[in-house]
Amino acid sequence: MMKMWLVCGLVFLSSLSCVLAWSDWAEWVPDAVTEFIDNPMRRSRIPRFILDAKHPWILENKRKLESLPDAEAFLCGLDAPSDEPVVHVNNGLELPRDLFHYLEIDNRRLSRPGWRNALERLREMKRCPQALARVKTFKVNIYVHDRYSDWFLRVREPSRPYKESLKLCGDVLEAMTGLESLKWEIDAEHAHWFEEAFKHRNLTLPSPKHLLIGPLSHYLVGMCPNVEAIENIDVVCWKHSQHQNPGLLLVRSTSSAKNLTRLALHACFEGWSPELAREVLEYMPQLTSLELKNCFESMYLDPAYSVNPPRPAGKLLRGILAEISNFPNLTHLDLPASYELDLGFDGGPICGNAYDGPGGARYQREVLAESYRATELGGVIVAEVLPHLTGFTVGGHQPNITRDEGGISNVTWFWTGKLDEWLLARIPDYHDEL
């Protein structure tokens, strides 16, 4: 029976898609049909946005919740007629305090059309004021299926977001009065829809302290006046013209962020340059913490570089750090992995199977040791150029630093003094080599 339905559904779908342009089709299809396609089994009584958040308590109590007369009303705090004992009404369930601390709208790991998923999740959230009032971290990641996706997802993407969803999105964000962290992972080509809608309603979000934002969504910075830390998402930037460098636009959008103390910036395809560091200093002299999420301009743009590094190891790093030393209050710096720092280590073989066969493990240990040596060199240079720092990382490794009046006097890494043991523990010899 189910199979028949599916077959009929598919025939119906494909004939329709011939008649109508893809994009308009999606808006035309009634909810019931798309809901059936998304979930041909019985619809859960628990709102899907709550299931999506994967709180362990929900996963554990799913069956009990499903058996409540109205799980949505219970979870969203609209329930509990006062004359009945609450425990009886709710099958003995009690909501954990952190139940709604994390919420998301994210169709990337699910086979759902992006705009439709956003609309449906937003509708559910709007009906759940309890969740909106309690959420601390909210992630929005809308993947709009395109020609690289399966046709049954692609044909259900309208050419633009549903109007209702843009309004709902503003409503929902405004109702999140305790929101601390907003993760806005919208692709560059769709950023403007939200920008227009949010600007139109003069959206202001006083609560978020942390912003993670996608390319061309820098307008959000002005809408979050109390933001303290901003990070942008690593993006493939060659799509954008020079005038639209999303990293630069982000930097220039921060003037109003008076409480901003940390920036983690991926500088796109152009990479980090002394000019960019100066630009960051001009707009955010108050920073106490800075992260360079990727490597330097010349490593991307100088074609001679990748074949034959023309500079002495550390020259590019010193150049950038010299600019960074002008931040008056900077105490912490995060640098990318050592192979991104132009320190004479190129990252080793790209293919994992370079380490196959006899001697493979030994070779892999050599490459790892080389990366640690480059990391140490990076640490030496940081300590020399920025002796006032109280902490830094290279490629996620945080060394212990010793300070005296003159600044950083010693830097030790977790492998310092026990490199060989450490390498052998991480990459033991393969059996066939013994």
Separation of first and last alpha carbons in the chain: 59
CA neighbor of 50 nearest in space, from 73, 27, 69, 75: 75
Task: Name the minimum Å distance from CB 140 to ligand NAG.
Answer: 22
Which residue, chain included where needed, has tokens 């909501």? 95
22-30, 38-46, 209-217, 408-416 -> range binding ligand NAG (CB under 6 A)? 408-416
DSSP 42: P
Position 226 contacts ligand NAG (CB under 6 A): yes
Task: Name the minimum Å distance from CB 417 to ligand NAG.
Answer: 6
CB 333 within 8 A of CB 392: yes
CA–CA dist 232, 128 (Å, integer): 30
Among 57, 102, 152, 413, binds ligand NAG (CB under 6 A): 413
Nearest residue to ligand NAG, scored by beta-carbon proximity: 286
CB 182 within 8 A of CB 211: yes
CB 103 within 8 A of CB 137: yes
Position 391 contacts ligand NAG (CB under 6 A): no
CA–CA dist 132, 196 (Å, integer): 23
Position 314 contacts ligand NAG (CB under 6 A): no
Q: Which is nearer to ligand NAG, 67 or 329 (CB)?
A: 329
The token duo for 29 is: 């299809």
Q: How many residues bind ligand NAG (CB under 6 A)?
A: 16
CA 307 to chain centre: 32
Task: Name the minimum Å distance from CB 388 to ligand NAG.
Answer: 12
Among 15, 82, 202, 308, binds ligand NAG (CB under 6 A): 202
Among 107, 399, 422, 427, binds ligand NAG (CB under 6 A): 399
Q: Which is nearer to ligand NAG, 111 or 256 (CB)?
A: 256
The token duo for 371 is: 């990366």
Position 259 contacts ligand NAG (CB under 6 A): yes
Task: Name the minimum Å distance from CB 329 to ligand NAG.
Answer: 4
Task: Name the minimum Å distance from CB 395 to ligand NAG.
Answer: 13
Amino acid at 205: L
**Parallel, antiparallel, or unpaired for β 332-335 and 229-232?**
unpaired
Q: Which residues bind ligand NAG (CB under 6 A)?
A: 201-202, 225-226, 258-259, 285-286, 328-329, 399-400, 410, 412-414
